[in-house]
């Protein structure tokens, strides 16, 4: 979504998001999950939303993950 809406490349989006997440004065409850999501986003064909959902589910040790996206389902270790 970000890439098409803002007409930016994936690496530029990742770099910007990582820069924001590295700011000490920004406090986010799920900062580490967001870091992992950005990393997944950088290294896969998943969009940022799917990367976050996958990272969130893994962080909560979910045993089940439902999606219509077969590639995303395969990435879930469950």
- Closest Cα partner for 70 from 55, 52, 56, 50? 50
Distances (CA, A) of 18 to 3, 15, 46: 15, 5, 17
* pLDDT tens by residue, 27-58: 999 999 999 999 999 999 999 999 999 999 99
For 58, residues 6+ apart whose C-beta sits below 8 A from its C-beta are 36, 76, 77
Global confidence as pTM = 0.82
CB 51 within 8 A of CB 43: no
Boundaries of domain holding 71: 2-75
Number of structural domains (the chain) is 1
């Amino acid at each position: 979504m970000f890439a098409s809406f803002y007409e930016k490349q994936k690496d530029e989006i990742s770099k910007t998001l990582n820069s924001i997440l590295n700011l000490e004065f920004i406090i986010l409850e799920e900062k580490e999950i967001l870091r992992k999501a950005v990393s997944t986003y950088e290294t896969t064909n998943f969009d940022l939303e799917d990367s976050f959902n996958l990272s969130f589910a893994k962080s909560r040790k979910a045993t089940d993950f439902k999606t219509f996206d077969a590639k995303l389902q395969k990435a879930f270790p469950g």
